[in-house]
Amino acid sequence: MLVLIKETYDDLSRHTAGMIADRIRRKPDLVLGLATGTTPLGLYRELIRLHRNDGLSFARVTTFNLDEYIGLPRTHPQSYYHFMQENLFRHIDVDPTAIYIPDGMAPDIDAQCEWYEQQIVRRGGIDVQILGIGANGHIAFNEPGSSLGSRTRIKTLADQTVKDNARFFKTADEVPKTAITMGIGTIMEAREVFLVASGAGKAAAVKAAIEGPITAMVPASIIQMHRKAYVLLDRDAASQLTHTFRG
Ligand code: GLP
Protein backbone atom coordinates (compact mmCIF):
# COMPACT_ATOMS: atom_id res chain seq x y z
CA MET A 1 0.00 0.00 0.00
CA LEU A 2 1.51 3.28 -1.07
CA VAL A 3 0.13 6.42 0.57
CA LEU A 4 0.64 9.62 -1.43
CA ILE A 5 -0.23 12.94 0.18
CA LYS A 6 -0.67 16.01 -1.99
CA GLU A 7 -1.05 19.54 -0.71
CA THR A 8 -4.39 20.45 -2.30
CA TYR A 9 -7.37 18.84 -4.00
CA ASP A 10 -6.17 20.14 -7.37
CA ASP A 11 -2.70 18.63 -6.89
CA LEU A 12 -4.35 15.35 -5.89
CA SER A 13 -6.62 15.35 -8.94
CA ARG A 14 -3.76 16.16 -11.30
CA HIS A 15 -1.53 13.51 -9.81
CA THR A 16 -4.19 10.80 -9.96
CA ALA A 17 -5.08 11.71 -13.55
CA GLY A 18 -1.40 11.52 -14.45
CA MET A 19 -1.18 8.00 -13.02
CA ILE A 20 -4.23 6.92 -15.03
CA ALA A 21 -2.93 8.57 -18.21
CA ASP A 22 0.33 6.71 -17.73
CA ARG A 23 -1.53 3.38 -17.47
CA ILE A 24 -3.57 4.14 -20.61
CA ARG A 25 -0.48 5.12 -22.59
CA ARG A 26 1.20 1.86 -21.60
CA LYS A 27 -1.94 -0.19 -22.27
CA PRO A 28 -4.36 1.59 -24.63
CA ASP A 29 -7.02 -1.09 -24.09
CA LEU A 30 -6.96 -0.58 -20.31
CA VAL A 31 -10.00 -1.77 -18.34
CA LEU A 32 -10.71 1.11 -16.00
CA GLY A 33 -12.99 0.93 -12.96
CA LEU A 34 -14.69 4.26 -12.24
CA ALA A 35 -16.30 5.88 -9.22
CA THR A 36 -18.87 8.60 -8.77
CA GLY A 37 -19.21 11.23 -6.03
CA THR A 38 -17.65 14.63 -5.55
CA THR A 39 -14.12 13.33 -5.04
CA PRO A 40 -13.34 12.17 -8.60
CA LEU A 41 -14.74 15.31 -10.26
CA GLY A 42 -11.34 17.03 -10.34
CA LEU A 43 -9.75 13.87 -11.63
CA TYR A 44 -12.31 13.61 -14.44
CA ARG A 45 -11.81 17.28 -15.34
CA GLU A 46 -8.09 16.63 -15.59
CA LEU A 47 -8.58 13.49 -17.73
CA ILE A 48 -10.76 15.56 -20.08
CA ARG A 49 -8.02 18.20 -20.26
CA LEU A 50 -5.42 15.54 -21.05
CA HIS A 51 -7.70 14.19 -23.78
CA ARG A 52 -8.19 17.63 -25.33
CA ASN A 53 -4.70 19.05 -24.96
CA ASP A 54 -2.36 16.09 -24.74
CA GLY A 55 -3.98 13.62 -27.12
CA LEU A 56 -4.85 11.09 -24.42
CA SER A 57 -7.21 8.64 -26.15
CA PHE A 58 -9.82 6.47 -24.48
CA ALA A 59 -10.89 4.93 -27.80
CA ARG A 60 -9.82 1.41 -26.78
CA VAL A 61 -10.48 1.76 -23.04
CA THR A 62 -13.29 -0.20 -21.36
CA THR A 63 -14.92 1.26 -18.25
CA PHE A 64 -16.83 -0.37 -15.40
CA ASN A 65 -18.56 1.79 -12.84
CA LEU A 66 -18.72 0.64 -9.26
CA ASP A 67 -22.38 1.13 -8.55
CA GLU A 68 -25.79 2.54 -9.43
CA TYR A 69 -28.94 3.44 -7.52
CA ILE A 70 -31.88 1.10 -7.92
CA GLY A 71 -35.02 2.69 -9.31
CA LEU A 72 -33.55 5.80 -10.95
CA PRO A 73 -33.86 5.88 -14.73
CA ARG A 74 -30.67 6.69 -16.65
CA THR A 75 -32.09 10.08 -17.53
CA HIS A 76 -32.47 11.06 -13.85
CA PRO A 77 -29.95 13.82 -13.06
CA GLN A 78 -28.79 11.93 -9.95
CA SER A 79 -28.35 8.55 -11.61
CA TYR A 80 -24.73 7.53 -11.79
CA TYR A 81 -25.21 6.89 -15.51
CA HIS A 82 -26.14 10.54 -15.98
CA PHE A 83 -23.31 11.66 -13.70
CA MET A 84 -20.73 9.78 -15.77
CA GLN A 85 -22.09 11.07 -19.09
CA GLU A 86 -22.02 14.67 -17.89
CA ASN A 87 -18.73 14.61 -16.02
CA LEU A 88 -16.61 12.39 -18.22
CA PHE A 89 -17.94 10.28 -21.06
CA ARG A 90 -19.43 12.93 -23.33
CA HIS A 91 -16.17 14.88 -23.24
CA ILE A 92 -13.82 12.06 -24.28
CA ASP A 93 -13.56 9.54 -27.13
CA VAL A 94 -14.57 6.43 -25.16
CA ASP A 95 -16.50 3.83 -27.19
CA PRO A 96 -20.11 3.83 -25.87
CA THR A 97 -20.26 0.04 -26.26
CA ALA A 98 -17.29 -0.29 -23.89
CA ILE A 99 -19.00 1.60 -21.04
CA TYR A 100 -20.50 -0.55 -18.30
CA ILE A 101 -22.66 0.81 -15.47
CA PRO A 102 -25.03 -1.45 -13.54
CA ASP A 103 -28.64 -0.98 -14.68
CA GLY A 104 -30.65 0.04 -11.64
CA MET A 105 -33.88 -0.33 -13.62
CA ALA A 106 -33.23 -3.93 -14.67
CA PRO A 107 -36.34 -6.09 -14.14
CA ASP A 108 -34.25 -8.84 -12.57
CA ILE A 109 -31.62 -7.23 -10.34
CA ASP A 110 -29.94 -10.51 -9.36
CA ALA A 111 -29.53 -11.44 -13.02
CA GLN A 112 -28.16 -7.97 -13.72
CA CYS A 113 -25.54 -8.40 -10.96
CA GLU A 114 -24.52 -11.79 -12.33
CA TRP A 115 -24.31 -10.36 -15.85
CA TYR A 116 -22.14 -7.50 -14.62
CA GLU A 117 -19.63 -9.86 -13.05
CA GLN A 118 -19.53 -11.86 -16.28
CA GLN A 119 -18.80 -8.75 -18.35
CA ILE A 120 -15.85 -7.86 -16.13
CA VAL A 121 -14.42 -11.33 -16.73
CA ARG A 122 -15.21 -11.20 -20.47
CA ARG A 123 -13.29 -7.92 -20.77
CA GLY A 124 -10.25 -9.44 -19.09
CA GLY A 125 -10.73 -8.09 -15.57
CA ILE A 126 -10.25 -4.58 -14.23
CA ASP A 127 -6.73 -3.18 -14.56
CA VAL A 128 -7.15 -0.05 -12.44
CA GLN A 129 -10.04 0.59 -10.06
CA ILE A 130 -10.65 4.12 -8.80
CA LEU A 131 -12.33 4.26 -5.40
CA GLY A 132 -13.69 7.00 -3.18
CA ILE A 133 -14.46 6.43 0.48
CA GLY A 134 -17.64 7.21 2.37
CA ALA A 135 -17.46 9.05 5.70
CA ASN A 136 -18.43 5.71 7.31
CA GLY A 137 -15.62 3.87 5.50
CA HIS A 138 -17.74 2.43 2.69
CA ILE A 139 -16.33 1.73 -0.77
CA ALA A 140 -18.73 1.79 -3.70
CA PHE A 141 -21.98 1.00 -1.81
CA ASN A 142 -20.41 -1.66 0.38
CA GLU A 143 -21.58 -0.35 3.70
CA PRO A 144 -20.11 -1.30 7.11
CA GLY A 145 -20.82 -4.97 7.74
CA SER A 146 -20.51 -5.96 4.09
CA SER A 147 -18.77 -9.26 3.53
CA LEU A 148 -15.14 -8.69 2.59
CA GLY A 149 -15.58 -11.43 -0.02
CA SER A 150 -18.81 -10.05 -1.52
CA ARG A 151 -19.60 -9.90 -5.24
CA THR A 152 -21.81 -7.53 -7.25
CA ARG A 153 -25.21 -7.46 -5.56
CA ILE A 154 -28.00 -5.33 -4.15
CA LYS A 155 -27.22 -3.37 -0.97
CA THR A 156 -29.31 -1.20 1.32
CA LEU A 157 -27.71 2.19 1.94
CA ALA A 158 -26.65 3.03 5.49
CA ASP A 159 -28.56 5.91 7.12
CA GLN A 160 -25.41 8.03 7.08
CA THR A 161 -24.94 7.45 3.34
CA VAL A 162 -28.55 8.45 2.67
CA LYS A 163 -27.92 11.62 4.71
CA ASP A 164 -24.58 12.31 2.99
CA ASN A 165 -26.07 11.85 -0.46
CA ALA A 166 -29.19 13.87 0.33
CA ARG A 167 -27.25 17.00 -0.67
CA PHE A 168 -27.74 15.99 -4.30
CA PHE A 169 -31.52 15.51 -3.98
CA LYS A 170 -34.27 17.88 -2.90
CA THR A 171 -34.99 15.87 0.25
CA ALA A 172 -33.52 12.79 1.97
CA ASP A 173 -36.77 10.97 1.11
CA GLU A 174 -35.87 11.14 -2.57
CA VAL A 175 -32.52 9.36 -2.10
CA PRO A 176 -32.91 5.75 -3.25
CA LYS A 177 -32.43 3.35 -0.35
CA THR A 178 -30.92 0.52 -2.37
CA ALA A 179 -28.22 0.20 -4.98
CA ILE A 180 -26.38 -2.31 -7.12
CA THR A 181 -22.74 -2.34 -6.13
CA MET A 182 -19.64 -4.25 -7.09
CA GLY A 183 -18.69 -6.40 -4.13
CA ILE A 184 -15.56 -6.01 -2.05
CA GLY A 185 -14.29 -9.29 -3.50
CA THR A 186 -14.94 -7.94 -7.00
CA ILE A 187 -13.05 -4.72 -6.26
CA MET A 188 -10.13 -6.61 -4.75
CA GLU A 189 -9.62 -8.52 -8.01
CA ALA A 190 -8.64 -5.31 -9.82
CA ARG A 191 -4.92 -5.41 -10.65
CA GLU A 192 -4.38 -1.96 -9.13
CA VAL A 193 -6.59 0.04 -6.80
CA PHE A 194 -6.44 3.83 -6.40
CA LEU A 195 -8.35 5.04 -3.34
CA VAL A 196 -8.79 8.80 -3.52
CA ALA A 197 -9.95 10.98 -0.61
CA SER A 198 -10.11 14.71 -0.09
CA GLY A 199 -11.09 16.99 2.76
CA ALA A 200 -11.23 16.89 6.56
CA GLY A 201 -14.62 15.15 6.43
CA LYS A 202 -12.86 12.00 5.23
CA ALA A 203 -9.90 12.15 7.66
CA ALA A 204 -11.39 9.79 10.27
CA ALA A 205 -12.49 7.25 7.65
CA VAL A 206 -9.05 7.38 6.01
CA LYS A 207 -7.33 6.85 9.33
CA ALA A 208 -9.57 3.89 10.18
CA ALA A 209 -9.07 2.39 6.73
CA ILE A 210 -5.29 2.55 6.58
CA GLU A 211 -4.15 2.61 10.21
CA GLY A 212 -6.92 0.57 11.82
CA PRO A 213 -7.61 -3.15 11.79
CA ILE A 214 -9.00 -4.83 8.69
CA THR A 215 -12.67 -5.19 9.45
CA ALA A 216 -15.98 -5.45 7.62
CA MET A 217 -17.08 -2.51 9.78
CA VAL A 218 -14.68 -0.33 7.75
CA PRO A 219 -14.98 -1.80 4.26
CA ALA A 220 -12.18 0.39 2.87
CA SER A 221 -9.73 -1.24 5.33
CA ILE A 222 -9.60 -4.24 2.97
CA ILE A 223 -7.27 -2.16 0.82
CA GLN A 224 -4.52 -3.18 3.26
CA MET A 225 -4.77 -6.67 1.75
CA HIS A 226 -4.39 -5.52 -1.86
CA ARG A 227 -1.11 -6.28 -3.60
CA LYS A 228 -1.00 -3.01 -5.53
CA ALA A 229 -2.96 -0.30 -3.78
CA TYR A 230 -2.39 3.44 -3.81
CA VAL A 231 -4.07 5.72 -1.29
CA LEU A 232 -4.11 9.23 -2.74
CA LEU A 233 -4.92 11.98 -0.27
CA ASP A 234 -4.86 15.71 0.07
CA ARG A 235 -3.43 17.27 3.22
CA ASP A 236 -6.86 17.55 4.93
CA ALA A 237 -7.86 13.93 4.29
CA ALA A 238 -4.47 12.86 5.67
CA SER A 239 -4.74 15.10 8.75
CA GLN A 240 -5.58 12.36 11.26
CA LEU A 241 -2.86 9.94 10.21
CA THR A 242 -0.42 9.34 13.02
CA HIS A 243 1.80 6.80 11.38
CA THR A 244 4.59 7.27 8.89
CA PHE A 245 2.78 8.87 5.99
CA ARG A 246 4.01 12.44 6.15
CA GLY A 247 5.68 12.87 2.75
C1 GLP B 1 -21.10 7.43 -2.66
C2 GLP B 1 -20.57 6.41 -3.68
C3 GLP B 1 -19.14 6.04 -3.42
C4 GLP B 1 -18.33 7.28 -3.12
C5 GLP B 1 -18.80 7.89 -1.82
C6 GLP B 1 -18.09 9.18 -1.46
O7 GLP B 1 -22.11 6.98 -1.83
N8 GLP B 1 -21.36 5.24 -3.82
O9 GLP B 1 -18.60 5.31 -4.53
O10 GLP B 1 -16.96 6.96 -3.00
O11 GLP B 1 -20.20 8.04 -1.78
O12 GLP B 1 -18.58 10.26 -2.21
P13 GLP B 1 -17.96 11.70 -2.22
O14 GLP B 1 -16.74 11.60 -3.08
O15 GLP B 1 -19.00 12.56 -2.83
O16 GLP B 1 -17.65 12.04 -0.82
Q: 125: phi > 0 → left, psi -120 to 50 → alpha, else beta; which? A: left
Q: What is the mean pLDDT of residues 191-202?
A: 98
Mean pLDDT value across the chain: 96
Distance 26 CA to ligand 1 centre (A): 29
C-alpha closest to that of 43 among 72, 74, 75, 6 = 6
C-alpha closest to that of 25 among 59, 66, 63 = 59
Nearest-atom number in ligand 1 for the CA of 165 is 7
Distance 152 CA to ligand 1 centre (A): 17
Is the confidence at residue 7, as pLDDT, over 70?
A: yes
Is the confidence at residue 188, as pLDDT, over 60?
A: yes
pLDDT tens for each residue of 114-126: 999 999 999 999 9
Please tell me the class of the 2-229 domain: alpha beta
* pLDDT value for 243: 81
Q: How confident is the model at residue 32 (pLDDT cuts 50, 70, 90)?
A: very high
Nearest-atom number in ligand 1 for the CA of 132 is 10
* pLDDT value for 247: 43
Ligand 1 environment, Cβ below 6 A: 35-39, 66-67, 132-134, 140-141, 161, 165
Catalytic residue IDs: 67, 136, 138, 143
Q: What is the mean pLDDT of residues 78-86?
A: 97
Share of the chain above pLDDT 90, in %: 95
Lowest mean pLDDT: which of 129-143, 177-191, 233-247?
Answer: 233-247
Distance 165 CA to ligand 1 centre (A): 8
Domains in the chain: boundaries: 2-229
Q: What is the mean pLDDT of residues 185-197?
A: 98
pTM (predicted TM-score): 0.96
* pLDDT value for 244: 61
Q: What is the mean pLDDT of residues 135-143?
A: 96
C-alpha closest to that of 30 among 72, 54, 64 = 64
